[in-house]
Amino acid sequence: MAVLGIEGTAWAASAAVFTRETNAVSIETDAYQPDSGGIHPREAAEHMGDAIPRVVETALDRADEPIEAVAFSRGPGLGPCLRIVGTAARALAQTLDVPLVGVNHMVAHLEIGRQRSGFESPVCLNASGANAHVLGYRNGRYRVLGETMDTGVGNAIDKFTRHVGWTHPGGPKVEAAASDGEYVELPYVVKGMDFSFSGIMSAAKDAYDDGTPVEDVCFSLQENVFAMLTEVAERALSLTGRDELVLGGGVGQNARLREMLEEMCEQRGADFFAPEPRFLRDNAGMIAVLGAEMLAAGDTLAVEESGVNPNFRPDQVDVTWRDDAESAVPRIDEEDEVRGAEATVEIGEDRVVKRRLPKSYRHPELDERLRRERTVLEARLTSDARRAGVPTPVVYDVDRREAVLEFERVGDADLRETLTPSRVRDAGRHLAAMHGAGLVHGDPTTRNVRVGAERTFFIDFGLGYYTDDVEDYAMDLHVFGQSLAGTADDAAALQTAFEDAYRDAGDESVLDRLREVEGRGRYQ
Contact 90, 52 (CB under 8 A): no
Residue 523: its pLDDT value, please? 41
Residues 6+ apart with CB under 8 A from 192: 146, 235, 442, 443, 444, 445, 463, 475, 478, 479, 482, 483
Residue 129: its pLDDT value, please? 85
Q: Is 443 a residue of the active site?
A: yes
6 residue type, one letter: I
For the domain 118-278, what is the CATH code? 3.30.420.40
C-alpha 190/C-alpha 129 separation (Å) is 19
Class of domain 337-408: alpha beta
Asked if the domains at 2-111+279-311 and 118-278 fall in one CATH topology, the answer is yes
Residue 130: its pLDDT value, please? 84
What are the pLDDT tens digits along the chain (524 aa)? Answer: 899 999 999 889 999 999 988 999 999 999 887 766 667 788 888 999 999 999 999 999 999 899 999 999 999 999 999 999 999 999 999 999 999 999 999 999 999 999 999 998 899 999 988 888 999 998 899 999 999 988 889 989 999 999 999 988 899 999 999 999 999 999 999 988 898 899 999 999 999 999 999 999 999 999 999 999 999 999 999 988 899 999 999 999 999 999 999 999 999 999 999 999 999 999 999 999 999 999 999 999 998 899 999 999 999 999 999 987 777 665 555 556 678 888 899 999 999 999 999 999 999 999 999 999 999 999 999 999 999 999 999 999 999 999 999 999 999 999 999 999 999 999 999 999 999 999 999 999 999 999 999 999 999 999 999 999 999 999 999 999 999 998 898 999 999 999 999 999 999 999 999 999 887 655 44
Q: Which of 145, 91, 105 is nearest to 11 (CA)?
A: 105
Contact 16, 59 (CB under 8 A): yes
For domain 2-111+279-311, which CATH number applies: 3.40.190.10, 3.30.420.40, 2.170.190.11, 3.30.590.10? 3.30.420.40
Residue 277: its pLDDT value, please? 94
Give the CATH H-level superfamily of domain 413-518.
Transferase(Phosphotransferase) domain 1 (1.10.510.10)
Residues 6+ apart with CB under 8 A from 131: 76, 106, 148, 152, 153, 249, 522, 523, 524
Q: Is the sign of the CA dihedral 428, 347, 340, 378 positive or negative?
A: positive
Candidates 426, 443, 460, 476; catalytic one? 443
Give the start-to-end residue ranges of the domains of the chain: 2-111+279-311, 118-278, 337-408, 413-518
Kindly list the strands in the beta sheet with 24-31, ordered across the sheet, starting from the edge strand earlier in the chain: 24-31, 12-19, 2-7, 67-75, 100-104
What is the value of pTM for the model shown?
A: 0.92
Residue 458: enclosing H or E segment and its boundaries?
strand 456-458
Residue 432: its pLDDT value, please? 98
